[in-house]
Amino acid sequence: MQVQVGYVWYLGDRNAYPTRLPPNGGSTASAVQTEAESTIDVNQYDHLDPSPPEYSSQPFTDSCTITLASGAGGHGCISFLREKYIANGPPNGGDGGTGGNLYIQAVRGETSLHKLARRGTLKAGRGKNGQGSLRGGARGEDVLVIVPVGTVVREVGRHDPLAEERVRGYGRDLDDDDAESDAPDQSRKWRRDRWLLYPGTLPKAFTTADFPALPRPRRNNLVATEPEAPIRLDLDKPMDQPILIAAGAMGGLGNPHFVTKSIHKPKFATKGEEGTRIHFQLELKLLADVGLVGLPNAGKSTLLRALTNSRTRVGAWAFTTLSPNVGTVILDSHTGRPALDTKGGRKEPRTNFTIADIPGLIEDAHLDRGLGLGFLRHIERAAVLAFVIDLSAGNAVAALKALWREVGEYEKIRDQEVNAETERLKPDEDGMVAFKPFESAISPGFEAEPNDSPFDSKDDDSDDVLLAPPVGRTLPPLSLPPISSKPWFVVATKADLSATQENFAALQQYLTDVQNGVEAHPSGKANAWRRRVQAVPVSAINKEGVGGIAELVVGLLDG
Ligand SMILES: Nc1nc2c(ncn2[C@@H]2O[C@H](COP(=O)(O)OP(=O)(O)OP(=O)(O)O)[C@@H](O)[C@H]2O)c(=O)[nH]1
Ligand SMILES: [Mg+2]
C-alpha cells in the first residue's frame, strides 16, 4: 500500500520541528527536502506499529531470594587389609571426599533472574565416602551460579556448622593460634554423632563404644579465598572467571587415622562435615547507558523500537510495558566503521550504546500507585536519563516536573534502604550467624574486636547461637551518585500530532531557563546537572527526528 506522507522533517537539524503539511503540499514546500515528501511504503514502519504476534514476551524477575549450599564432605571408611595369607590386616579405610564448592559468575546475555528464582535452593554435590585400600572419596560436584551482569548479591543469613559449633564452645580452640598442635579437641569428645562404627557392630555399641577424642574439625583451604562475610557483591561487569562463594566441607577421616598404641584396629571413622548454607537476596539492576523515564503511554517503547531492533510491546493504553527492556543502538555506518567520530577519551570509538525502557511512572508512584517506583532501579545506573514526554498529553513542563519528583522520591527511598541495610547486618533471632569464620586469615590487617569471645559478648540467654553485631567492620559503601547529577535531556514525542507546537515551545523555553539558572532545576537539588539541557522533538512512530538522539547521547556519554 502506498500513501502520501503529510509530514515534513528538516533532516539534519535536531531542533527543527516536524510540521504537518496540507495534503497537496504547502507554501513551505520549497524549503523542504524532497525525500520527506516522497511516497513511502508504510509496511517499512511495521516495526514501529506492530501486530501482537510480533511482541516479544519474556519472563522477567528482577529480585529473588535463593539459598546456596556448599557440598557436605563424604564419610571416612572403616576397612582392614585382607589378602591371601593376611586374614586380619591393618586398617586401610580411605578418607571421605571434599564437598563441592559454590561459585558465582556474572555473564552477558542473561537478562533476568527468573531461572534462579524458580530453583530456590542450589546445592553443590556431596563428597563421596572413602573406600577400602586407602582410596579417598571423590570430590563433590561444584555448582556455578550464573547471574546477569548488573546483579547485586546480598547475604541475608548463613548456617555454617563449624562456626556454630565454635559459638557453642565445642570447637572453641579451632582458631586459637597456640592450638596448632595435633592435640585432639577435648571439647568435642561427647559428640558421638560424628562417629561411624564398623558395619557389623550392634547398634547399642554406639552408646557404649569408647571413642577417642574427636579430631579437630578441618576446614577447606579454599575458605581463605571466600569473600568476607556477610557477602555483598555488585556484579556490574561481565566476569572472565567465577568467584568462590562457599568452599565445600571436608570429608571424614578413615580408620587408619585412629590407630594408637592401645587400639591397633580401630573400628570407627568420622563423618564428613556439613556444608555451609547461605541465604542470598539477589537484585538485578539492568545496566544500560540511557534510561527512558516517562508517564505511561508516552511513547517510550515506540521510541525504543524506533532507535533499536527491540521487539517490545507497544499499545495505545497505559502500562503496556510491564517489565524493563534493553535495546542496543548500533552506531555503524554499514562500512564496518563507527558512524560517529567521537572518541571522547576512549581508546576505541563507540560503536553502540544501550537504552533501557521501563514501565511508565505515574504521579504518586512513590505511594505505590501504578507499578510503583521499583523499576527505577534499572535506570539508576544509567549514565544518561532521557525523559520521554508526550506533547499531545497536556502541559509538557508539568509532566517533566512530575517525573523528576518521582525520581527524587525514589532516590530518597533508596537512601533509606542503604541505611537500613547497614542496620540489618545484625544477626537475627533464628540462629543465623552473620560472621566471618577465619576472619584474620583473610584480612590480615583486620583487628579482632576486643569482645571476640561469644561468651562475654552475649547477655543471659546463653544457648542462643548469636554473635555480637559486627561492630567496627567497614562495609563497602554502596556508592551511587545522586540521580540529579546525571546528564539528562527530554525527548518530546508525538510531535506529529496537531497543536503540539506551543507545548513544545513552552518546554524548550523552560529548559533554556533551567540551563541559564533562571528556573530552578526540576529535581529541586542545588548541584544538579543543567548543562546543555535540551528537548528533542520526535515522531517516533514515523521514525522522524530519532537520528539526532544517537548523536546527542554519544555526546553526553563521551563528552
Ligand atoms: N502519533 C504518534 N503516536 C505515537 C508516537 N509514539 C507512540 N505513539 C503511540 O502511543 C501509544 C503508546 O506508545 P507506547 O510506546 O506503548 O508507550 P509507552 O510509554 O511505552 O507506554 P507504557 O509502556 O504503557 O508506559 C501507542 O499507541 C503508539 O502507537 C508518535 O510519535 N506519534
Ligand atoms: Mg512501553
Each residue of 369-396: pLDDT tens digit? 777 677 888 888 888 999 999 988 888 8
Name the closest-CA residue to atom 11, ligand 1.
316
C-alpha cell at 290: 540511557
Query: Residues 201-230: what's their mean pLDDT?
Result: 78
Across the chain, mean pLDDT equals 75
By DSSP bridging, strand 384-390 and strand 535-537 are unpaired
From the CA of 360, the nearest ligand is: 1
Of 50-59, 163-172, 337-346, 353-362, the least confident: 337-346
CB of 233 closer than 8 Å to CB of 104: yes
pLDDT of residue 98: 93
Q: Where are the alpha helices (DSSP H) in 99-188?
A: 114-119, 161-168
Name the closest-CA residue to atom 21, ligand 1.
297
CB of 187 closer than 8 Å to CB of 173: yes
CB of 199 closer than 8 Å to CB of 219: no
Distances (CA, A) of 528 to 40, 407, 479, 523: 44, 13, 17, 7
What are residue 17's phi and psi, to 5 degrees? -110, 130
Residues of the chain with CATH 3.40.50.300: 50-58+286-412+486-558
Query: Residues 430-446: what's their mean pLDDT?
Result: 40
Query: Residues 1-12: what's their mean pLDDT?
Result: 40
Residues facing 8 on adjacent strands:
19
Q: What is the pLDDT of residues 448-471, one digit of tens each?
A: 344 444 434 334 443 433 443 343
From the CA of 320, the nearest ligand is: 1
Q: What is the pLDDT of residues 492-508, one digit of tens each?
A: 888 888 888 888 888 88
By DSSP bridging, strand 352-357 and strand 143-148 are unpaired
Query: CB-based contacts of 140: which residues, under 8 Å, 6+ apart?
Result: 71, 72, 74, 97, 98, 99, 100, 124, 125, 126, 127, 128, 248
- Tell me: pLDDT of 146 over 80: yes
pLDDT of residue 71: 92
**Dihedral angle sign, alpha carbons of residues 436, 438, 440, 441:** negative
Distances (CA, A) of 295 to 171, 292, 323, 365, 390: 59, 10, 15, 10, 8
Q: At 285, is the pLDDT very low, low, confident or very high (cuts 50, 70, 90)? A: confident
Q: How far is the CA of 534 from the centre of ligand 1 (A)?
A: 21
Question: What ipTM was estimated for this complex?
Answer: 0.97
Of 48, 60, 301, best ligand 1 pocket probe by most atoms within 8 Å of the beta carbon: 301
Q: How far is the CA of 370 from the centre of ligand 2 (A)?
A: 14
Cα–chain center distance at 316: 33
Nearest atom within ligand 1 for CA of residue 493: 31
Query: CB-based contacts of 312: which residues, under 8 Å, 6+ apart?
Result: 55, 56, 301, 304, 305, 321, 325, 327, 357
Written as one letter, the residue type at 209 is: A
Of 67-76, 122-131, 155-164, the least confident: 155-164
Please tell me the class of the 50-58+286-412+486-558 domain.
alpha beta
From the CA of 540, the nearest ligand is: 1
Nearest atom within ligand 1 for CA of residue 321: 23
Greatest mean pLDDT range, 96-110, 150-164, 324-338: 96-110
Nearest atom within ligand 1 for CA of residue 539: 31
Of 320, 325, 493, 539, best ligand 1 pocket probe by most atoms within 8 Å of the beta carbon: 320
Q: How far is the CA of 307 from the centre of ligand 2 (A)?
A: 14
- Tell me: pLDDT of 260 over 80: yes
Q: How far is the CA of 4 from the centre of ligand 1 (A)?
A: 22
Q: What is the CATH number of domain 63-284?
A: 2.70.210.12
Rg (C-alpha) for the chain, rounded Å, is: 32
Q: How far is the CA of 306 from the centre of ligand 1 (A)?
A: 11
From the CA of 392, the nearest ligand is: 1
Nearest atom within ligand 1 for CA of residue 292: 19
Of 155-169, 173-187, 400-414, 439-453, the least confident: 439-453
- Length of the chain, please? 559
**Dihedral angle sign, alpha carbons of residues 207, 210, 216, 222:** negative
From the CA of 297, the nearest ligand is: 1
Query: Residues 101-130: what's their mean pLDDT?
Result: 89
C-alpha cell at 109: 546475555
pLDDT of residue 543: 84
What are residue 86's phi and psi, to 5 degrees? -120, 90
Global pTM reads 0.69
Pocket of ligand 1 (CB under 6 A): 49, 294, 296-302, 314-316, 318-321, 359-360, 493-494, 496-497, 539-541
pLDDT of residue 470: 41
pLDDT of residue 440: 36
pLDDT of residue 468: 38
Nearest atom within ligand 1 for CA of residue 497: 1
Residues of the chain with CATH 2.70.210.12: 63-284
